[in-house]
Amino acid sequence: MRSDKILVAGGGGFIGGHLVADLLRKGHQDIRSVDIKPLNEWYQVFPGVENLQLDLQDKAACEQATKGAGTVYNLAADMGGMGFIENNRALCMLSVLINTHMLMAARKYEVERFFYASSACVYAADKQTDPNVTALKESDAYPAQPEDGYGWEKLFSERMCRHFREDFGLVTRVARYHNVYGPLGTYDGGREKAPAAVCRKVIQAKMSGKHEIEIWGDGKQTRSFMYIDDCLKGTQAILASEILEPLNLGSSELVTINGLVDIVEGIAGVKLKRHYNLSAPKGVNGRNSDNTLIKKYLDWEPGTRLRDGMERTYRWIFDQIAKRS
C-alpha cells in the first residue's frame, strides 16, 4: 500500500526545517520530522507535524522513524562548517551509522523513495588546489580522494545507497550539496558555515564599533554558495526524478572569501580592517559546482543571486544578535 507519509530525518536542522516548511506550503499533511536535538533547539517546529526526538545512529530509532513512511529525506548528520569538520573527523565518520540504519529501515518497511543528502566534500582534493578552479563534474569524485572524515563518510554512504538500489530495489536518489546557506540556521557556536560566520562577524564589528574582522586563510580561496530556496527546489526535483547517479546541487557563481566579505560589508554599509588567520581551518583552495548534468536532466539552476541571498541571511542574523543584546 502506498503511503503519503513523508519522513524528514534531520528535520530540526537548517535544511530539514526549511524542507518541512516547504512541504507544508505545498499541502503535504502527513509529515514526520525527526532530529537528535531537543525540540526547543530545533530551528523550526511546526504544529500538525509529528515531531520526534530520536538518535538516528541507533538502528531501533531509525525503524521507529521510518515505519509507515512512503518517502524519506535523509538529511541527518553530525556536521558543521570547516571549523567543525576539520577538527571532528571521527564524529563525522560516525554519521555512517545514520545512513546505514536508515537504509536498512527503509528496505524493511518498503519505503518508495529515499533521498540522501551528500556533499561536495566527496570530490578529490587534488582537483581543488587552485582558487581558479575548474567546476567539479560528478565524475570527479573518482578516483576517490575526498575530504578526510566527513567527505569519506559521504562518499561511502553514496555507495550504500547505490548498492541498496541495485541489490534490493530500494529507489534511492542522491544530491551533492554545495554550501547551502540562508536564514534560520547556525551562525555561531563553531558549526556555522562561511556565509553565516561572515555575517555574524560583520554585524558584531559594526555593533561594537571595532571595525575589524578575522578571516580564516588568506581570503583568496574560492567557493560557490547555494541559497536554501534553490536547494529545496532541487532536492525535491532530484527525489522525484529517474536519475540514478548522484547529482551536483549547487550554484556555479564562484566567489572568493574576500569577495564574500565585500558583499556583506556592502549590505552592512561598513568597511572593516581585515586580519588573516593563516593557521585556521580553511578547506580546499577552490571549489565550484558544474551544473551541466542537472540542467540537462531536470532544467534546474539556482534562481537566487548571492548578493540577494546574503542580504536575507544578514537581516535574519542581525535580528537574532540584536535580540540577544
Three-state DSSP state, 114: strand
Active site residue 150: yes
152 neighbors 146 (Cβ within 8 angstroms)? yes
Q: How is residue 121 annotated by DSSP?
A: G
Residue 137 is placed in which grid cell? 563534474
Grid-cell match 578516483, residue found: 143
Cα end-to-end distance, the chain, whole Å: 53
113 neighbors 169 (Cβ within 8 angstroms)? no
CA pair distance 115, 9, nearest whole angstrom: 10
Three-state DSSP state, 236: helix
Question: HSE (CB half, 13 Å, CA atoms) of 38?
Answer: 2
Residue 166 is placed in which grid cell? 541495485
Catalytic residue among 73, 116, 123, 150: 150
CA pair distance 57, 55, nearest whole angstrom: 5
User: CA dihedral defined by 84, 314, 219, 85, rounded to 10 degrees?
Assistant: 10
66 neighbors 173 (Cβ within 8 angstroms)? no
Three-state DSSP state, 275: strand
Q: Are strands 172-177 and 247-249 parallel, antiparallel or unpaired?
A: parallel
Three-state DSSP state, 69: coil
219 neighbors 262 (Cβ within 8 angstroms)? no
CA atoms 33, 250, 216, 266: torsion sign? negative
Enumerate the active-site residues: 150
